[in-house]
Structure 1
């Protein structure tokens, strides 16, 4: 209780000094100080409370159209994802030596040998264009889900020509 009493005594002393200081001012000085204090108080309230709120509201108002557009795009993408998820992935025909030979013929490739072993195909190329071979492999990957499990390339003296030995495997729909 002693600490509370000393704090009250100090507050009373400060109050008395402030009152004496205020009463020693003339009426005109008191008016100037009152108006100045009010201006400072209003300025602080505006600077600390109102201005940030107004600026935040304006920035939100400016960004609202872009946010609405993004929300519309997200809704469109979500609807598209739902329709794609509802449709099963198209089934690709199983990999066979006939299908591989036909697709190679379309690309102008001729395999030395095509050997099917279960779900794997071993394909040997002799003297083929590397660019055509890579284009064919890319088409097989996209169209038939055929993956290269093992590849061995040997460059030939002719520019862009290679001997290649490939092991291919068709990926299942679940692996995609």
Structure 2
């Protein structure tokens, strides 16, 4: 390790001597011009590395600041609105009943083979109905009445798009009785 260190020191000393010899060969006017050139190059390097990126960043931030303030205001208003909505009582949904289910089925053009209610559960038997209508009806129940499918048995018929369906439905808690 010390051999490599000694070689490095010797190379550095040789370079210093070469630089001193180069400097000694120059006239006073050349030394002055070289010194001024070195100072100008140093100032340009410091400017390019330190000041110019900071200055450009500051200008870019000044340009984007109004947009960022507007976005912050929108976020604050959305947060206030969310807070107000969370303090409101949830919308109460009417409890599931036979008349409501029958009316929603008929509104979709579905005629149930059987419809029975037992407590919080309902069982619906549909024969020879369009699959798309069944799915739309179930989606409407889920959205409007918080009624979920507990169990489903759907079998395809020979005619495309037509099915037989046996569904068990349950209304989510939080519904006023």
TM-score by length of 2: 0.81
In 2, distance between residues paired with 1:25 and 1:100? Answer: 104
1:109 aligned partner:
110
Which residues in structure 2 correspond to 1:27-46 (within 5 Å)?
Answer: 27-46=28-47
* Rounded Cα–Cα distance in structure 2 between residues aligned with 1:57 and 1:120: 65
Distance between the aligned counterparts of 2:71 and 2:174, measured in 1?
A: 32
Q: How many angstroms apart in 2 are the aligned matches of 1:145 and 1:71?
A: 35
Provide the rounded CA distance (Å) in 1 between the counterparts of 2:21 and 2:127: 110
Where does 1:1-176 land on structure 2 (aligned, <5 Å)? 22=23, 24-173=25-174
Runs of 4+ aligned residues of structure 1 deviating over 4 Å after TM superposition are 16-24
Quick one: distance in 1 between partners of 2:135 and 2:107?
Answer: 14
Shift of 1:58: 2.0
How many matched pairs?
A: 162
Q: Deviations over 1:50-89 (max 9, x none)?
A: 1110121122123223312221221121121012111111
After TM superposition, the score normalised by the length of structure 1 is 0.82
Superposed CA RMSD in Å reads 2.3
Q: Which runs of 5+ in 1 are unaligned?
A: 1-12
Higher RCO, 1 vs 2 (CA within 8 Å, ≥6 residues apart): 2
